[in-house]
Amino acid sequence: AQSVTQPDIHITVSEGASLELRCNYSYGATPYLFWYVQSPGQGLQLLLKYFSGDTLVQGIKGFEAEFKRSQSSFNLRKPSVHWSDAAEYFCAVGPNNAGNMLTFGGGTRLMVKP
């Protein structure tokens, strides 16, 4: 069975500092991996996704993620965090590029200190 683990429930970083959110997955087939951000009152927004090719993928809002097959990881990074990045972040795995039928991780709540 597929699963996604986000080990960090909460993370607090200072504005301007770098960020890394961890994600580990277990999937029986070729994984299609996604990172979403959830802000209050808004639907989940796709930050980036990966299924093949260059293992370092660039997303919106300055985010990037690196796929490491050997570690079954897909960590999200941002070199300099802005206060507006405070939100809940979800890693997910699914059977196709469209993001259908996703299995989500538990989420990481990011807080940004001024």
Partner 1 sequence: GAVVSQHPSRVICKSGTSVKIECRSLDFQATTMFWYRQFPKKSLMLMATSNEGSKATYEQGVEKDKFLINHASLTLSTLTVTSAHPEDSSFYICSAPDPNQETQYFGPGTRLLVL
The least CB distance from residue 86 to partner 1, in Å, is: 16
Instruction: Verify binding: residue 97, partner 1, rule CB under 8 A.
Output: yes
Per-residue binding string, partner 1, 50-89, x by CB under 8 A, is ----------------------------------------
Q: What is the DSSP string of the chain?
A: --EEE---SEEEEETTS-EEE--EEE-SSPPEEEEEEE-TTS--EEEEEESSS-SEEE-GGG-EEEEEGGGTEEEEEESS--GGG-EEEEEEEESSTT--S-EE---EEEEEE-
Answer for which of 26, 101, 111, 113 binds partner 1 (CB under 8 A) is 101
Answer for which of 7, 18, 26, 46 binds partner 1 (CB under 8 A) is 46
